[in-house]
């Protein structure tokens, strides 16, 4: 339960970007409230082995440590979704799902992204047991194995090419390639087994993934399936504030200080675009947290 209805810095999102922003802002001795649900962070189900200075750590454990650090430095937490946020003179007014009304001088949007899903049987069941949404994160777990990448755009094709350095066999399942001629040539000259014009019907296995069933009934024996269909951000809150998005309207646009075009509104993490990686999220969170604390102090809290 928040102690107040009035804060210097409110952070939307309690993933690594929001937590790091909270840690850095709170250490500047401004009042900080962090909103959002830990279990909805992309990191919650991850197993991280590419974050500097840490080996093989469960995302859930990292989030728990981050929350405790943020609390130790004075951050207040409210595990609720924000439904509405709007400017009101020198402050921003926030309404949460249980009806809390909160005011803040500065806002940090760190609401992450949701990976686009295939929507087939087995996808949810085998998440973390053969199904992955991130070649960058999980390639190393599939050394010497047979894997498939699903998707038709450049992320899927470059993901498949990357996986050639790790896996024994790499299949690419795609409807119709949507990549530059140069990337298409690179793909076709490579050892990737291309299943163009195909769709995945089902992901099957026992304890872990064992095979893909394609729409035409064909079976592809694999132990890993990388679903590379892009991601979408939670943009409603940002657009309501007049925050500028990138050319493709997919991510929040910021400068190097993580400031958006709206004074007092910062953004950090996956919502600012790829690479969707924890290292980037915490770096941006740090910059946004420091910037928001300075902005709140200057604006005469």
Which tokens sit at 69? 């650090």
> Is residue 12 part of the contact set for ligand FAD (CB under 6 A)?
yes
Binds ligand FAD by CB under 6 A, chosen from 54, 168, 249, 279: 279
Which range, of 86-94, 107-115, 183-191, 198-206, touches ligand FAD by CB under 6 A? Answer: 107-115
DSSP-derived 3-state class of residue 162: helix
> Is residue 137 part of the contact set for ligand FAD (CB under 6 A)?
yes
Nearer to ligand FAD, 36 or 130 (CB): 36
Binds ligand FAD by CB under 6 A, chosen from 2, 15, 151, 273: 15
The minimum distance between CB 190 and ligand FAD, in angstroms, equals 25
Please count the other Cβ atoms lying within 10 Å of the Cβ belonging to residue 263: 11
Please count the other Cβ atoms lying within 10 Å of the Cβ belonging to residue 219: 12
Tell me if 96 sits within 8 A of 80, measured CB to CB: yes
Q: Write b or e for each residue in 179-193: b if 16 or more Cβ atoms lie within 10 A of its Cβ, otherwise e.
A: beeeeeeebeeeebe
The minimum distance between CB 23 and ligand FAD, in angstroms, equals 13
> Is residue 77 part of the contact set for ligand FAD (CB under 6 A)?
no
The minimum distance between CB 181 and ligand FAD, in angstroms, equals 31
> Is residue 36 part of the contact set for ligand FAD (CB under 6 A)?
yes
- Write the DSSP assignment of 235-255 as a string of letters: -HHHHHTT--B-TTSSSB---
Cα gap 292→89, rounded to integer Å: 17
Mention every residue, 6+ apart, whose C-beta is less than 8 A from residue 220.
148, 171, 173, 195, 211, 212, 214
Beta strands per DSSP E along 215-290: 219-221, 224-227, 231-233, 265-267
The minimum distance between CB 216 and ligand FAD, in angstroms, equals 29
The minimum distance between CB 166 and ligand FAD, in angstroms, equals 14
Which range, of 7-15, 87-95, 204-212, 292-300, touches ligand FAD by CB under 6 A? Answer: 7-15
Which range, of 166-174, 175-183, 199-207, 272-280, touches ligand FAD by CB under 6 A? Answer: 272-280
> Is residue 76 part of the contact set for ligand FAD (CB under 6 A)?
no
Cα gap 218→109, rounded to integer Å: 44
> Is residue 133 part of the contact set for ligand FAD (CB under 6 A)?
yes
> Is residue 151 part of the contact set for ligand FAD (CB under 6 A)?
no
Q: At what angle do helices 16-26 and 59-72 cross, to 10 degrees?
A: 20
> Is residue 295 part of the contact set for ligand FAD (CB under 6 A)?
no
Q: Locate tokens 């005011």: which residue?
A: 103
128 closest CA partner among 117, 115, 141? 141
Which range, of 116-124, 132-140, 158-166, 258-266, touches ligand FAD by CB under 6 A? Answer: 132-140
Tell me if 136 sits within 8 A of 161, measured CB to CB: no
> Is residue 41 part of the contact set for ligand FAD (CB under 6 A)?
yes
Cα gap 134→279, rounded to integer Å: 14
Tell me if 55 sits within 8 A of 30, measured CB to CB: no
Binds ligand FAD by CB under 6 A, chosen from 23, 134, 286, 293: 134
Binding mask 208-237 for ligand FAD (x = CB under 6 A): --------------------------x--x
Q: Which residues bind ligand FAD (CB under 6 A)?
A: 12-18, 35-37, 40-43, 45-46, 48, 50-51, 81-82, 110-112, 133-134, 137, 234, 237, 269-271, 276-279, 281
């Amino acid at each position: 339960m928040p102690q107040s209805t009035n804060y210097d810095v409110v952070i939307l999102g309690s993933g690594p970007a929001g937590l790091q922003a909270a840690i850095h802002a709170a250490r500047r001795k401004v009042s900080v409230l962090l909103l959002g649900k830990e279990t909805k962070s992309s990191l919650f189900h991850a197993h991280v082995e590419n974050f500097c200075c840490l080996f093989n750590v469960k995302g859930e454990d990292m989030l728990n440590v981050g929350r405790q650090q943020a609390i130790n430095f004075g951050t207040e937490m409210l595990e609720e979704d924000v439904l509405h946020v709007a400017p009101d003179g020198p402050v921003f007014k926030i309404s949460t799902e249980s009806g809390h009304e909160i005011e803040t001088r500065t806002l940090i949007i760190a609401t992450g992204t949701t990976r686009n899903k295939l929507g087939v049987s087995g996808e949810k069941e085998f998440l973390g047991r053969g199904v992955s949404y991130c070649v960058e994160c999980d390639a190393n777990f599939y050394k010497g194995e047979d894997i498939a990448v699903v998707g038709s755009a450049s992320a899927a094709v470059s993901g498949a090419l990357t996986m050639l350095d790790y896996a024994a066999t790499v299949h690419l399942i795609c409807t119709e390639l949507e990549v530059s001629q140069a990337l298409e040539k690179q793909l076709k000259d490579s050892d990737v087994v291309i299943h163009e014009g195909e769709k995945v019907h089902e992901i099957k296995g026992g304890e872990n993934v064992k095979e893909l069933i394609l729409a035409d009934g064909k079976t592809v024996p694999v132990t890993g399936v990388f679903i590379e269909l892009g991601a979408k951000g939670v943009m409603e809150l940002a657009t309501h504030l007049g925050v500028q998005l990138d050319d493709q309207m997919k991510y929040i646009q910021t400068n190097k200080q993580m400031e958006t075009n709206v004074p007092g509104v910062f953004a950090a993490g996956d919502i600012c675009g790829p690479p969707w990686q924890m290292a980037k999220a915490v770096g941006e969170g740090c910059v946004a947290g420091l910037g928001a604390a300075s902005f709140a102090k200057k604006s005469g809290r």
